[in-house]
Chain A
Amino acid sequence: MGTKTRVVHYLNQFFGQVGGEDKARTEPFGKVGPVGPGALFQQLLGEEAEIVGTVVCGDDYFSEHPELAAETVLALIQGFEPDLVLAGPAFNAGRYGVACGTVCGLVADALNIPAVTGMFRENPGVDLYRRSITIVETAATALGMREAAERMARIGLKLAGSIPLGPPAEEGVLPRGIRRNYFAAETGAVRAVSMLLRKLKGEPFTTEYPLPAFDRVAPLPPIEDMTAATVALITSGGIVPKGNPDHIESSSASRYGRYDIGSLDALSPRSHETAHGGYDPTYVNADPHRVLPLDVMRDLEREGIIGKLYPYYYATVGNGTAVASAKGFAQEIAKDLIRDGVQAVIISST
């Protein structure tokens, strides 16, 4: 006889049969066996799994005492010794969605067991948690309960049995926003011609990469008095001290370097080189100023056109480097520069 998968179900006060908005401050409690929609879930889970307990918490209580609620709910769940946790579905209920997302994340991290929730695509919990947990896509309201429960039960059993999930669209799961390679049935060329013909005929087609909306930064007003400004140099052109001491990668850089130029008047092929793998380094290695114009900056400093040059420069390799990495570097570098009173930065790319 195989043992049944032990399932704990998390619900809010409404689905947990306590009451409506007036009961939203209900403190967390546990109950043996299924409650409310739990009966439907139990029916769908079948013989393989048993809802051994239900944990209920009011939506307001969860959002007003996030840490305490999370801790108590987790302890109650743990008390039932589950193999799988199902939370919700929350449909388009915002506070409930965030609570379900928090519970699933905690369960995965602290108990190391699978957890599944269900939400409507626009539930605020989706944006907060879709990267880290499994969220089944549901309708906006409880009218979609049956479909949501079917999906959650099916996905839950798969995860509990360590069966890999198929592509999100096929499983009915909201994508985590991670790009993964796979082999399509046809070559890219064949797919391109077919897609264009569908587009021209006005038939539905799906772009294979929906372009993101880019983060645009509004420029600051110009500096009024450059003669008093401290200016820093940053480059994504890979100029590093000879030997590349920080081992910045020639492509897909995972790091940047901060290098002292306080006592340098100029760079030379003996002192500096590029680590960049995306362009021909011949000319920049012959004269690194072609990418990092230290010589000109020193002239400007001597001529009093700028106040002074910041004594360090920052360098990374902007070649196939993930935008997320570059953003991370920039946030760290900006902290240094603001702390040290730098007013302007010249960024040279290649």
Chain B
Amino acid sequence: MRLELGRIRVRDVVWSRRTFLENGILHVNRDELVDRAGAKDTRIASIDAEIARPGEHVRIIPIKDAIEPRVKVEGRGGMFPGLISGVQTVGQGRTHVLEGCSVLTVGQIVGFQEGMIDMSGPGAAFSTFSRLLNVCLIIEAREGLSRHEHEEAVRMAGLRAAVYLGEAGRRISPDELVSYEPGRSSGAHDGRGDLPRIAYLYMLLSQGLLHDTFLYGRDMKTVLPTLICATEVMDGAIVSGNCVSACDKNTTYHHQNNPIIAELFKRDGKDLTFAGTVVTNANVTLKDKERSADYAVKLLEMLNVDGVIISKEGFGNPDADAMMLCARLEEEGIATTLVTDEFAGADGQSQSLADTTPRADALVSVGNANEIVMLPRPEIVIGNERIIERMAGGQPGSLSEHGIRAELQVILGATNELGFERLSAREE
């Protein structure tokens, strides 16, 4: 499975009469974008579109998902298999990436747990999305729609918009072409048998009720842990459908650009052998947790690995899955490192996780999501700022004439548990 990613650096996005990409400028026909995103979905009452650029005094709130525009240029299947394209296996051939931009789904709130992004000011330091050109879709749902239908309608509109924009990169010569091939340094065959075999264990939130993730369009709740080729993820095999706390939910953009996969590819054959990726779920019942943990550990043993990097999504309940995975892998003699955020209280004095095991002795902390941030008033708000008071991490009174005072939790991707950002926490 070899995938070439052609990265096209997008320097600006502008509204235009026609949608095309030239000299790093993405020209977008706004009406066509809105039409394609909506696709006559009767659940959607209206869609509007705005562009937010890095450095602008703009706040975007509430955001559900972020998606990077990509297009499949060669090879089997299409972008977001099972949801937008057919169900053919993706991850080989060639894919073009519109790097530096994203589609954000904004508009009326679905659940409490949606996020915000500031394009400048102190809040911008916490999120990759503050450094991207964001095409914001403000989507209003038809009245009387259930939350689940609302979530799905918005999710699909975002994916369609990203696919539409991605098409503009189909015939563009990329700025950079990188080839990814897992198992290229398989150890046994190339004399690199002395390198440690490292696998990636990819936890996907799957608690149901607006906390779902999709693999090839299949709801992860219903899937046993399974092997995936890391390049499939780059073609949108994993899509976020959840409204969990903004700081540590893995948006579709995060999945497409998984930084652990990127790092393992980078070091593959140098100081490690990238032995494979296992996706597992984070369900709610103990029986499901135990079944998935055991099954995932079995797959990793079959891969004959020395060590496993575990990434998490969400907090609280999934802490139990993460600890179970650490404990069982270590019991089998497989070394683990877990990436997690912390909920240590606004004063940083509480214990950070809801579960523990003495075997989880190598944790990477991506920050305390309860820490308070002050976010001064922006000039422009895309969406509705008042929603901060209902968001996880905000509370009544969070919004004042000085701006927003809330927990870091409200910022999209701030404590991303794929390790996307540089933020960490330490004891002082």
Contacts and interface: CB of A to CB of B under 8 A. Distances in A.
B263 interface: yes
A192 B423 contact: no
A324 B243 CA distance: 26
B426 interface: yes
B370 A322 contact: yes
Interface residues of B, number: 88
B428 interface: yes
B262 A189 contact: yes
B369 interface: yes
B367 interface: yes
B425 A181 contact: yes
By size class, the interface of chain A is 35 or more
Interface in B279-322: 306-309, 311, 315-316
A184 B423 contact: yes
B164 interface: no
Contacts of A251: 112, 245, 392-393, 407, 409
A319 B367 CA distance: 17
B335 A193 contact: no
Nearest to B125: A183
Nearest to B247: A320
B367 to A, nearest CB: 5
B392 to A, nearest CB: 4
A192 B316 contact: no
Contacts of A212: 351, 356
A17 interface: no
B343 interface: yes
Nearest to B364: A192
A201 B307 CA distance: 11
Contacts, number: 235
A141 interface: no
Contacts of B311: 192
Interface stretch (B52-60, B232-240, B414-422): B414-422
B105 to A, nearest CB: 18
B422 A183 contact: yes
Contact of B337 (A196, A249, A279): A196
A191 B364 contact: yes
B66 to A, nearest CB: 17
Contacts of A201: 196
B364 A188 contact: yes
- Nearest first, the 7 A-B pairs at minimum CB distance are A188-B419, A189-B419, A280-B209, A322-B345, A277-B112, A322-B350, A189-B259
Interface of B: 111-113, 125, 146-148, 196, 198, 207-211, 243-245, 259-260, 262-264, 267, 271-272, 306-309, 311, 315-316, 335-340, 342-354, 356-358, 360-371, 390-393, 395-396, 407-409, 416-428
Interface of A: 131, 167-168, 175-193, 195-197, 199-201, 205, 207-209, 211-214, 247, 249-252, 277-280, 282-283, 318-320, 322-325
Given A193-B263, A249-B395, A282-B146, 6 more contacts: A180-B425, A183-B423, A193-B267, A197-B196, A251-B392, A252-B409
